[in-house]
């Protein structure tokens, strides 16, 4: 029983935390509004609102036994109730104190435990302060109201303000699971497509039969007529003799065949209908679910007013924040990514943009600076987020200085650069125009984070500044994380996706076009020299045994203002790509941003081009690339690896390819035998324990086969017993390697001995 | 079931119903009765000819490894990624994670998906033998001689020489989380 109660309380606490967060947010917003609001009527309504919120929170806290929260809320309620009298003035320091109280409440509710860790004395001090403030108000008003305004009653029925649309609260994880499952329907559709193809194949096979039948049919007819014409013992042989029976069977077969053909035709048609129907349904379902995952910007913007207020007070500036377009909806995942850069942008406005009140007055501006966060929907499923201030603007001279200091530009370059060329530089990590690093900003990281977010989400960023009049940062983002165009490239056996927006050009260059400058390879495109690197090297893939000769497929990739040419093995094609971001264990992977599921069900990692460009620079700094090895013109022996475990199969393939063999794979004995019959192999390396046909049977079958009898077979197996070994030899294997003592060298040595 | 035997005419319908009910019963997540004090429920598996076990409390599911997509630029213990019903999961080779000597060829045919909090991790195994209960007193202190395996990751060794790994330690090991940036060498 005890554990069940605990379980229940745990669930209750989780619900409480969500609820408490909302109450606190509402109180915080109310306080901010009160500080600005002049109209007595409106103030009254706001006070009423925050009083109710504090009261609800108190009730909720009591139901989960959070005594401290309850007590603090009670004191808050006490103070708010004194504010109900018109004419009460609240000082800025009191507002400060209240925001701190809210912070404490947030900590208390987040901890969610009633005892330990919580500093009792701190809670008591806060309560005393609140009570003193309430009494102070009373003295001011000279109205005797009891300091504890209301005996704690049951929480009021949660009076929901008239909501325009009815809504339910669903845990996000459940929705995401749903989206994931709906995307899985894509593979169901894929499977149906596969079945359709197979049914059509059967149809074609039947047609081939029909064509052959059409050829022999006249012969059969003629034969039949001959039989009818030659009476046997007074009766037609066609009716009674064995020939007659064959003829009858052939006719029956034909009818049977026709009916089968008809049925297969129907089957193909209905499968096709199902295939298209499923496609439409899946599209509609995933589309609707994506809409469900859309959220208005508002919740992400709610922290900003408080942030501006606190930062402004801390830095002795006066600032007003205006928010527009908070109701515009965007993919929750995009919103999640946006929170941090937004905070950085607003901090930047306050710290670098806005001047101190006196300075502003001197320049003939109002004392209070203005920061605007404006969100607008644009064409083509994108939104623009503009964060602007009416402060001093960016000083071009300082940017020039900082760029030179960081080594991004030479003094000459910096001096000659137009202002519009300078602005992009402020997005570089480490560049700051601030002479001092404050705890608000100045490290030069904030804008670099903005840039990374924009690149990651496939958006764009810009800055415009006018000295003396202010600075505007803008960020354009897609409203869904949905699909983008991706270019598929092959490197050895791996397929990777490059976001097409980062591909400037795809071309083929001949070896002759590659120049080596200071041990680094370059190619010339449109009269400009570009660094050329091998994508495989940058991704740290093992060198492919088959070096490309002749033309080299190359992609010119760009991000920001950098461009580098990457050589690949093959540029495949372009398609719509749905990115699945990493999660959990893979927090951030170098050079890769996520993964997509291809139409074949295979996974293909998506390249992070911004990272790649950095890695390419790094690898070229690390040392010159050796001249490409001239591939040896020796005949490569071909080996078939037969293994049902994908890991062992891949490992064996890698080892053998690394040793210079040409390797193909099969998943079991039957598969292997089919491939062997096609010919061209010099040796077989096979596992023993496999479905359908095991290694012993495969070996025996090879030995029995006329063409394959001499083919060497190496068995690699987990079976260690002497009997098994003898069985292997009996079946005709040339070598028997036990997996537990397997290592790369004994396999290669064995193979070298045999071929 | 007797019902289907008695009414052969309704045989098919009844059978279908029964099968459906059974499938639903099987699909339901079993409510594992709380282990009596002192018992530890573990999932036993084989990795490189050694028998290991992990507490079932951390096991989300076990599935067959059918496709594996290798992932460059990750630590060597990450063998690649798999797609489990639309969820992309990295799979870890514990031998490499523990820095055990890399000898022998393992099948690594099974993925054991471990879960702790929000973190899910795929662990490769050659074979999964099943679930068993070991009594805690049986769990001995780890032997210091256990080849190469750091005792930090061990909960103990049961009487049947089952090496019980500490899933909690493994899942909370900071090495488990891959978070790598491209670091440019300073000029």
Do residues A141 and A201 both lie within one domain?
A: no
Task: Tell if the CB–CB gap between B69 and A646 is shorter than 8 Å.
Answer: no
Q: Domain with B96 in it: what CATH number? A: 2.40.50.180
Q: Contact at 8 Å (CB) between A343 and A306?
A: no
**How confident is the model at residue A140, as a pLDDT?**
46
Segments forming the whole domain that contains residue B60? 39-176
In a domain, B45, yes or no: yes
Do residues A658 and A610 both lie within one domain?
A: no
SS3 at position A291: helix
Interface of B with A in 56-95 (CB under 8 A): 65-74, 78-79, 81-83, 85-90, 92
Do residues A142 and A202 both lie within one domain?
A: no
In a domain, B120, yes or no: yes
Question: pLDDT band for position A239 (50/70/90)?
Answer: low
Q: Residue B161 above 60 pLDDT?
A: yes
**How confident is the model at residue B132, as a pLDDT?**
87
Domain boundary among A294, A320, A353: A294
CA trace torsion A671, A672, A673, A678 (10° rounding)? 100
DSSP class of residue A428? S
Q: Contact at 8 Å (CB) between B43 and B62?
A: yes
Task: Tell if the CB–CB gap between B104 and A741 is shorter than 8 Å.
Answer: yes
In a domain, B30, yes or no: no
Task: Tell if the CB–CB gap between B88 and A611 is shorter than 8 Å.
Answer: no
In a domain, B58, yes or no: yes
* A429, A584, A612, best to mutate vs chain B, most B CBs in 10 Å: A584
Interface TM-score (ipTM) > 0.85: no
Instruction: Return the closest-CA partner of residue A533 out of A591, A453, A448, A594.
Output: A591
Tokens of A199: 């049914």
Average pLDDT over residues B151-155: 80
Q: Does B175 touch chain A (CB under 8 A)?
A: no
Do residues A581 and A659 both lie within one domain?
A: no
Helix, strand and coil content of chain A, in percent to the nearest 5, comes to 50, 20, 30
The segment with the largest mean pLDDT, out of A413-427, A438-452, B151-165, is B151-165
Distance CA A277, CA A123 (A): 62
Q: Phi, psi at residue A299, to the nearest 5°?
A: -55, -35
Q: Residue A233 above 70 pLDDT?
A: no
Q: Residue A428 above 70 pLDDT?
A: no
10 Å Cβ neighbour count for A103? 13
Task: Tell if the CB–CB gap between B184 and A617 is shorter than 8 Å.
Answer: yes
Q: Domain with A33 in it: what CATH number? A: 1.20.120.160
Do residues A264 and A341 both lie within one domain?
A: no
In a domain, A597, yes or no: yes
**How confident is the model at residue A516, as a pLDDT?**
80
Split into its structural domains, chain B has a count of 1
| Residue with the larger pLDDT of the pair A292 and B174 | B174
In a domain, A531, yes or no: yes
In a domain, B13, yes or no: no
Distance CA A433, CA A420 (A): 16
Do residues A306 and A437 both lie within one domain?
A: yes
| Residue with the larger pLDDT of the pair A260 and A39 | A260
pLDDT in tens, A585-628: 898 899 998 888 776 678 899 999 988 988 888 776 554 444 44
**Contacting residues of A for B128, CB less than 8 Å apart:** none
Distance CA A342, CA A333 (A): 15
In a domain, A103, yes or no: yes
Do residues A283 and A339 both lie within one domain?
A: no
Do residues A344 and A233 both lie within one domain?
A: no
Beta-carbon contacts of A57 under 8 Å, excluding residues fewer than 6 positions away, are A19, A20, A23, A24, A27, A69, A73, A105
Q: Which residue of A has its CA nearest to B85?
A: A184
Do residues A89 and A220 both lie within one domain?
A: no
Distance CA A58, CA A72 (A): 8
Q: Contact at 8 Å (CB) between B125 and B48?
A: no
10 Å Cβ neighbour count for B22? 11
Q: Does B28 touch chain A (CB under 8 A)?
A: no
Domain boundary among A268, A294, A320: A294
Task: Tell if the CB–CB gap between B81 and A597 is shorter than 8 Å.
Answer: no
Distance CA A133, CA A96 (A): 12
In a domain, A446, yes or no: yes
Instruction: Return the closest-CA partner of residue A660 out of A572, A542, A567.
Output: A542
- Residue spans of beta strands (DSSP E) within A601-721: 603-607, 638-642, 662-666, 683-687, 713-717
Task: Tell if the CB–CB gap between B118 and A584 is shorter than 8 Å.
Answer: yes
Q: Does A539 touch chain B (CB under 8 A)?
A: yes
What's the gap in Å between the CA of B179 and the closest CA on chain A?
4
Q: Which of A183, A585, A591 sits opposite B86 (nearest CB)?
A: A183
Size (chain A), residues: 755
Q: Contact at 8 Å (CB) between A105 and A56?
A: no
In a domain, B187, yes or no: no
Q: Contact at 8 Å (CB) between A318 and A368?
A: yes
Question: pLDDT band for position B4 (50/70/90)?
Answer: very low
Q: Give, rounded to a whole angstrom, the gap between the first and last alpha carbons of chain A.
A: 71
| Residue with the larger pLDDT of the pair A729 and A72 | A72
Q: pTM here?
A: 0.50
Distance CA A531, CA A512 (A): 15
In a domain, B186, yes or no: no
Q: Given phi > 0 = left and psi -120 to 50 = alpha, else beta, which region is B174?
A: alpha
User: Nearest 5°: CA angle at A401, between A397 and A403?
Assistant: 115
Q: Residue A458 above 70 pLDDT?
A: no
In a domain, A473, yes or no: no
**How confident is the model at residue A483, as a pLDDT?**
63
For chain A, give the mean pLDDT: 79
CA distances from A268 to A192, A543, A563 (A): 11, 46, 50
What's the gap in Å between the CA of B136 and the closest CA on chain A?
21
**Contacting residues of A for B118, CB less than 8 Å apart:** 584
Tokens of A501: 């927006």
Segments forming the whole domain that contains residue A655? 638-754
Question: pLDDT band for position A404 (50/70/90)?
Answer: confident
Beta-carbon contacts of A430 under 8 Å, excluding residues fewer than 6 positions away, are A406, A443, A444, A445, A448
Average pLDDT over residues A461-489: 81
Task: Tell if the CB–CB gap between B87 and A180 is shorter than 8 Å.
Answer: yes
Beta-carbon contacts of A274 under 8 Å, excluding residues fewer than 6 positions away, are A192
Q: Does A259 touch chain B (CB under 8 A)?
A: no
10 Å Cβ neighbour count for A531? 18
Instruction: Return the closest-CA partner of residue A210 out of A259, A257, A252, A246.
Output: A257
Distance CA A349, CA A353 (A): 4
The segment with the largest mean pLDDT, out of A64-78, B26-40, B110-124, B148-162, is B110-124
Q: Contact at 8 Å (CB) between A536 and A544?
A: yes
In a domain, A254, yes or no: yes
In a domain, A627, yes or no: no
pLDDT cut 70: percent of chain B above it: 76
Average pLDDT over residues A292-299: 84
Q: Does A684 touch chain B (CB under 8 A)?
A: no
Beta-carbon contacts of A139 under 8 Å, excluding residues fewer than 6 positions away, are none
Q: Domain with A369 in it: what CATH number? A: 3.30.565.10
Do residues A306 and A441 both lie within one domain?
A: yes
Average pLDDT over residues A197-214: 90
The crossing angle, in degrees rounded to 10, of helices A67-83 and A120-141 is: 10
pLDDT in tens, A682-691: 899 998 888 8
Q: Residue A713 above 80 pLDDT?
A: yes
Q: Contact at 8 Å (CB) between A715 and A733?
A: yes
Distance CA A696, CA A687 (A): 9
**How confident is the model at residue A489, as a pLDDT?**
93
Beta-carbon contacts of B24 under 8 Å, excluding residues fewer than 6 positions away, are none
pLDDT in tens, B84-125: 866 789 999 998 888 877 666 677 889 999 998 878 899 999
**How confident is the model at residue A604, as a pLDDT?**
92
Split into its structural domains, chain A has a count of 5
| Residue with the larger pLDDT of the pair A69 and A406 | A69
Q: Residue A695 above 80 pLDDT?
A: yes
Do residues A280 and A307 both lie within one domain?
A: no
Beta-carbon contacts of A538 under 8 Å, excluding residues fewer than 6 positions away, are A566, A591, A612, A615, A616, A619
Per-residue b or e along A37-68, where b marks 16 or more CB atoms closer than 10 Å to that residue's CB: eeeeeebeebbebbbbbbbbbbbbbbebebeb
Task: Tell if the CB–CB gap between A3 and B87 is shorter than 8 Å.
Answer: no
In a domain, B14, yes or no: no
Q: Residue A144 above 50 pLDDT?
A: no
Domain boundary among A102, A136, A151: A151
Q: Contact at 8 Å (CB) between A303 and A343?
A: yes
Helix, strand and coil content of chain B, in percent to the nearest 5, comes to 25, 35, 40
Distance CA B134, CA B159 (A): 9
Do residues A229 and A302 both lie within one domain?
A: no
The segment with the largest mean pLDDT, out of A19-33, A615-629, A714-728, is A19-33
pLDDT in tens, B50-78: 889 999 999 999 988 888 899 999 998 99
**How confident is the model at residue A414, as a pLDDT?**
72
Distance CA B15, CA B3 (A): 9
In a domain, A54, yes or no: yes
Average pLDDT over residues A642-656: 84
Q: Domain with A709 in it: what CATH number? A: 3.40.50.2300
**How confident is the model at residue B71, as a pLDDT?**
92
């Amino acid at each position: 029983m005890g554990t069940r109660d605990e379980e229940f309380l745990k669930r209750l606490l989780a619900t409480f935390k969500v609820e408490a967060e909302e109450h606190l947010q509402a109180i915080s917003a109310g306080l901010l509004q009160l500080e600005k609001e002049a109209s007595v009527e409106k103030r009254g309504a706001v006070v009423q609102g925050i009083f109710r919120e504090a009261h609800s929170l108190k009730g909720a806290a009591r139901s989960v036994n959070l005594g401290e929260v309850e007590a603090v809320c009670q004191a808050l309620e006490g103070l708010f109730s004194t504010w109900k009298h018109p004419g009460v003035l609240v000082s800025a320091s009191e507002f400060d104190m209240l925001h701190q109280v809210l912070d404490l409440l947030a900590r208390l509710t987040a901890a969610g435990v009633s005892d330990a860790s919580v500093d009792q004395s701190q809670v008591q001090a806060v309560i005393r302060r609140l009570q003193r403030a309430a009494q102070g108000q009373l003295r001011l008003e000279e109205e005797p109201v009891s300091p504890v305004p209301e005996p704690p009653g049951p929480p009021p029925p949660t009076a929901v303000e008239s909501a325009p649309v009815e809504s339910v609260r669903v845990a996000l994880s459940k929705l995401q699971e749903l989206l994931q499952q709906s995307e899985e329907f894509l593979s169901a559709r894929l499977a149906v497509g596969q079945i359709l193809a197979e049914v059509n194949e059967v149809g074609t096979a039947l047609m081939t039969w029909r064509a052959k039948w059409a050829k022999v049919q006249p012969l059969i007819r003629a034969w039949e007529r001959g039989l009818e014409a030659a009476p046997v013992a007074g009766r037609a042989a066609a009716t009674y003799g064995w020939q007659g029976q064959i003829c009858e069977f052939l006719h029956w077969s034909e009818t049977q065949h026709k009916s089968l053909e008809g049925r297969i035709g129907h089957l193909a048609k209905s499968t096709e209908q199902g295939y298209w129907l499923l496609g439409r349904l899946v599209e509609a379902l995933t589309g609707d679910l994506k809409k469900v995952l859309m959220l208005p910007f508002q919740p992400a913007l709610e922290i900003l007013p408080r942030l501006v207020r606190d930062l402004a007070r801390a830095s002795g500036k006066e600032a007003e924040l205006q928010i527009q377009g908070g109701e515009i909806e965007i993919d929750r995942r995009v919103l999640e990514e946006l929170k941090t850069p937004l905070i950085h942008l607003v901090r930047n406005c306050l710290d670098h943009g806005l001047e101190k009140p006196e300075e502003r007055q001197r320049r003939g501006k109002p004392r209070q600076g203005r920061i605007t966060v404006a969100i607008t929907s644009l064409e083509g499923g994108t939104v623009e987020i503009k964060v602007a201030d009416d402060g001093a603007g960016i000083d071009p001279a300082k940017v020039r200085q900082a760029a030179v200091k960081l080594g991004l530009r030479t003094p000459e370059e910096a001096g000659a650069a137009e202002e519009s060329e300078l602005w992009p530089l402020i997005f570089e990590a480490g560049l700051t125009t601030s002479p001092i690093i404050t705890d608000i900003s100045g490290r030069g990281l904030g804008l670099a984070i903005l840039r990374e977010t924009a690149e990651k989400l496939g958006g764009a960023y810009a800055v415009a500044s006018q000295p003396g009049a202010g600075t505007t940062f803008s960020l354009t983002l897609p409203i869904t994380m949905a699909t983008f165009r991706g270019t598929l490239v092959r490197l050895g056996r791996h397929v990777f996706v490059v976001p097409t927006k980062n591909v400037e050009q795809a071309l083929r260059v001949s070896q002759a076009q590659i120049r080596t400058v200071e041990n680094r390879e370059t190619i010339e495109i449109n009269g400009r020299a570009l660094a050329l690197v091998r994508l495989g090297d940058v991704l740290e893939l093992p060198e492919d045994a088959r070096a490309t000769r002749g033309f080299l497929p190359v992609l010119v990739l760009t991000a920001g203002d950098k461009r580098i040419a990457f050589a690949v093995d093959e540029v495949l094609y372009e398609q719509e790509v749905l990115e699945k971001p990493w999660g959990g264990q893979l927090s951030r992977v170098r050079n890769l941003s996520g993964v997509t599921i291809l139409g074949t069900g295979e996974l293909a990692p998506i390249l992070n081009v911004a990272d790649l460009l950095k890695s390419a620079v790094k690898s070229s700094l690390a040392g010159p690339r050796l001249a490409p090895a001239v591939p040896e013109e020796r005949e490569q022996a071909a080996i078939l690896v037969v293994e049902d475990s994908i890991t062992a199969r891949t490992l064996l393939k890698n080892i053998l390819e690394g040793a210079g063999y040409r390797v193909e794979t099969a998943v079991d004995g039957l598969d292997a035998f089919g491939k062997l019959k096609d010919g061209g192999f010099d040796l077989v390396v096979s596992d023993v324990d496999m479905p359908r046909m095991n290694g012993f049977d495969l070996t025996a079958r090879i030995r029995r086969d006329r063409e394959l009898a001499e083919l060497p077979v190496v068995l690699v197996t987990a079976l260690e017993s002497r009997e098994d070994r003898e069985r292997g030899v009996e079946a005709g294997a040339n070598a028997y390697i036990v997996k537990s003592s397997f290592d790369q060298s004994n396999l290669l040595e064995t193979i070298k001995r045999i071929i | 079931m007797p019902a289907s035997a008695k009414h052969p005419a309704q045989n098919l319908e009844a059978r279908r119903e029964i099968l459906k009910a059974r499938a639903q019963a099987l699909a339901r997540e079993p409510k594992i009765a709380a282990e009596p004090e002192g018992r530890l429920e573990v999932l036993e598996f084989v990795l490189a000819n050694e028998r290991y076990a992990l507490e079932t409390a951390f096991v989300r599911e076990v599935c067959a490894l059918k496709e594996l997509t290798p992932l460059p630029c990750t630590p060597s213990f990450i063998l690649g990624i798999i797609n489990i019903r639309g969820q992309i999961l990295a799979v870890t080779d514990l031998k490499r994670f523990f820095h055990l000597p890399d000898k022998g060829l393992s099948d690594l045919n099974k993925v054991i998906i471990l879960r702790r909090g929000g973190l899910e991790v795929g662990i490769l195994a050659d074979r999964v033998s099943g679930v068993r209960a070991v009594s805690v007193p049986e769990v001995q202190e780890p032997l210091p001689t256990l080849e190469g395996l750091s005792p930090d990751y061990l909960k103990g060794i049961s009487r049947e020489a089952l090496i019980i790994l500490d899933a909690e330690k493994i899942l909370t090991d900071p090495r488990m989380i891959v978070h790598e940036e491209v670091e440019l060498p300073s000029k």
